[in-house]
Amino acid sequence: MSVLVVGTTALDSIKTPYTENPRLLGGSASHAAVAASFFGPTRLVGVVGDDFPTHYIQLYKKHRIDLTGLERIQGGTTFFWSGEYEVNMNNRRTLETVLGVIEHWQPALPGLYESTPFVLLANISPQVQHRVLDQISKPKFVIADTMDLWLNIALPELLKLLKRIDCLVLNDSEARQLVGEDNVVAALPKIHKLGPRYVIVKKGEHGSVLSGPKGLFVAPAYPLHKVVDPTGAGDSFVGGLLGYLASQKSGSIETNLRRALIHGAVVASFCCEGFGLTRTTKATKADIKKRVRELERLAKF
Amino acid sequence: MSVLVVGTTALDSIKTPYTENPRLLGGSASHAAVAASFFGPTRLVGVVGDDFPTHYIQLYKKHRIDLTGLERIQGGTTFFWSGEYEVNMNNRRTLETVLGVIEHWQPALPGLYESTPFVLLANISPQVQHRVLDQISKPKFVIADTMDLWLNIALPELLKLLKRIDCLVLNDSEARQLVGEDNVVAALPKIHKLGPRYVIVKKGEHGSVLSGPKGLFVAPAYPLHKVVDPTGAGDSFVGGLLGYLASQKSGSIETNLRRALIHGAVVASFCCEGFGLTRTTKATKADIKKRVRELERLAKF
């Protein structure tokens, strides 16, 4: 079944201790849509300016991503982010953000998109996430990703969103912040009380934790010898997991979610091995299957 | 088969944001020996002063720990450590350390101990670890634990020790420090080159990683809603894992190590739920089995 992804479509300039890469294809929706596209039909909802390079459009198309929902604003500037990573590749700081066309964006969904069964509200303002959700009729499963920025500046809208979604994805420090609880495991039931039936906590290199009606699932990350650029890894994780979930013809969501997290972790591992989307877009379905089998071996006891 | 544990036998005063507990039974050997004792016969090598409370001796005895190797120095002071944890229970700082009888300790093993097949050199100076190992004839499996202190002040002795052991246990920041490598996964082959066939990296609440001739094993931690006091969790982990390993009548060490890490993680989870050894000593073999089964369910995909 189809997946709809809404989020940012951006140009990222990324500095690491080793190198610098200007104006890469980035943004939560770009990473998540490419990740989801490995598993089945994927629809993108995003906005770019006329400075958005044509070869990035070609790259989306190479992944057979439906771009009917990608607006291109004449005279507008594409959302731009630049950041710098420290040696350990975990800490990063933002150098510059130019909102551009994203600032006053009011997404209007193409008619065909309105019946998409699997919806990923990738990281973007809760206002945009609400607006997209308003235009979808009876989705089967809705996941929302978020970040600390929205907890800080748009908490009421985020809390309203939590009542409308099936699954919230956030990292461990955001989980703690959201419910004011130091222990992540103790934070989970408190997050469920805010709405979502499923909560997934991302822990980067330490894997992820799924909490649902049948309890917890502790998922490993794929161990990497080298992290080139972790930007977009969280978006790739959630895109890959929803893409996998939508592609499953049998089994309940509860049952399929565990393997969905594993597939998300594998797509995220490719993301980390190159700048921006450069490594992810070179991965094949066979590469993904191979790493999933490796993770099975790595985690078995 | 029997396990020998050498390490510190100490009195710990532990402060957390919630409470303060003076002169608890602590030390790497106390935690590791109690953890190992759940699985089979355990021999302790340690030293205390005559200030060491009799009820702590009784507590060792309750766990059927062989105390022939526990020296009691008349007029001596037991090794004392006091520390304070921050709210997140991950960061701690040492308030006071009194080495006491441990400072010039030269352990002499009882004759019966010399043929112990499974040896745990729990965290203590590499000099003491060497000295104990010198007195054991043809051990089947030797694990050494260590800490950043020894990397900083006794690196040559530690490096010599690595040539004599089967398995090194250390935490992720120590693994990075030991071989000067930011990425833990990339650090592992470099640590193997220093000697040990197996390396186990402890990551606290994020679980642990085993590296051996047949590759990696990524082990989850048992998820806890509340951490009361993590002091000794690493010692409990390694004690539990070696105790389990020694208790297995079939299967190779390579095969049994994975489940050994899981059993270690479970004993460590009990350790974290109370101050010092107070919760661990209340656990039963049935409690351990129950949490192992839970971890199986939590990690399956």
For residue A240, give the amino acid letter. G
pLDDT digits (tens, 9 = 90+) for A283-292: 999 999 999 9
pLDDT at A89 over 80: no
Interface probe, candidates B188, B214, B218, B269, chain A, greatest A C-beta count within 10 A:
B218
Q: Which stretch of DSSP H or E encloses residue B159?
A: helix B155-162
* Partner residue facing B258 (CB), from A184, A223, A301: A301
Total Cβ atoms within 10 A of residue A75:
8
pLDDT at B225: 96
Three-class DSSP category at A130: helix
Asked whether A276 and A83 are in contact (CB, 8 A), the reply is: no
Interface probe, candidates A217, A218, A300, chain B, greatest B C-beta count within 10 A:
A218
Asked whether B289 and B38 are in contact (CB, 8 A), the reply is: no
Q: Residues of chain B with pLDDT > 70: what percent? A: 100
CB contact under 8 A, A218 and B186: no
**What domains can you pick out in chain B, each with its CATH number?**
3-299 (3.40.1190.20)
Q: How many whole angstroms separate alpha carbon B16 and alpha carbon B92? A: 9
| A&B contacts, CB < 8 Å | 81
CB contact under 8 A, A183 and B227: yes
- Chain B residues 172-201 with a CB less than 8 Å from chain A: 182-186
pLDDT at B86: 84
Three-class DSSP category at B167: strand
Q: Residues of chain A with pLDDT > 90: what percent? A: 95
pLDDT digits (tens, 9 = 90+) for B105-141: 999 999 999 999 999 999 999 999 999 999 999 999 9
Does this model's pTM top 0.90? My answer is yes
Which chain B residue has the Cα nearest residue A172? B206
CB contact under 8 A, A301 and B300: no
Total Cβ atoms within 10 A of residue B64:
10
Cα distance from N-terminal residue to C-terminal residue, chain B:
34
CB contact under 8 A, B206 and A207: yes
Q: Which residues on chain B are in Cβ contact (under 8 Å) with A87?
A: 182
Is the Cβ of A220 closer than 8 Å to some Cβ of chain B? Answer: yes
- Chain A residues 253-282 with a CB less than 8 Å from chain B: 258-259, 261-262
Q: How many whole angstroms separate alpha carbon B34 and alpha carbon B79? A: 18
CB contact under 8 A, B183 and A224: yes
Tell me the pLDDT band of A106, cut-offs 50, 70 and 90: very high
- Chain A residues 82-121 with a CB less than 8 Å from chain B: 87-89
**Residue-by-residue DSSP string for A53-78:** -HHHHHHHHHTTEEEEEEEEETT---
Q: Which residues pair with A198 in a beta bridge?
A: A167
Q: For residue B294, with 0-12 CB atoms within 10 Å meaning exposed, 13-18 middle and 19 or more buried, which class applies?
A: middle
Is the Cβ of B69 closer than 8 Å to some Cβ of chain A? Answer: no
pLDDT digits (tens, 9 = 90+) for B12-51: 999 988 888 999 999 999 999 999 999 999 999 999 999 9
Using left for φ > 0, alpha for ψ between -120 and 50, and beta otherwise, residue A176 falls in alpha
pLDDT at A46: 98
Longest dimension (CA), chain B: 57
- Please report which residue ranges of chain A form alpha helices under DSSP H: 28-37, 54-62, 126-134, 148-153, 155-162, 172-179, 184-193, 233-247, 253-272, 285-299
Is the Cβ of A227 closer than 8 Å to some Cβ of chain B? Answer: yes
Residues 6+ apart with CB under 8 A from B224: A183, A185, B205, B269, B272, B273
Asked whether B210 and A250 are in contact (CB, 8 A), the reply is: no
Asked whether B102 and B8 are in contact (CB, 8 A), the reply is: yes
Q: Which residues on chain A are in Cβ contact (under 8 Å) with B223?
A: 185, 209, 216, 218
The one-digit pLDDT tens for each residue of chain B (301 residues) are 999 999 999 999 999 888 889 999 999 999 999 999 999 999 999 999 999 999 999 999 999 999 999 999 999 999 999 999 887 777 889 999 999 999 999 999 999 999 999 999 999 999 999 999 999 999 999 999 999 999 999 999 999 999 999 999 999 999 999 999 999 999 999 999 999 999 999 999 999 999 999 999 999 999 999 999 999 999 999 999 999 999 999 999 999 999 999 999 999 999 999 999 999 999 999 999 999 999 999 999 9
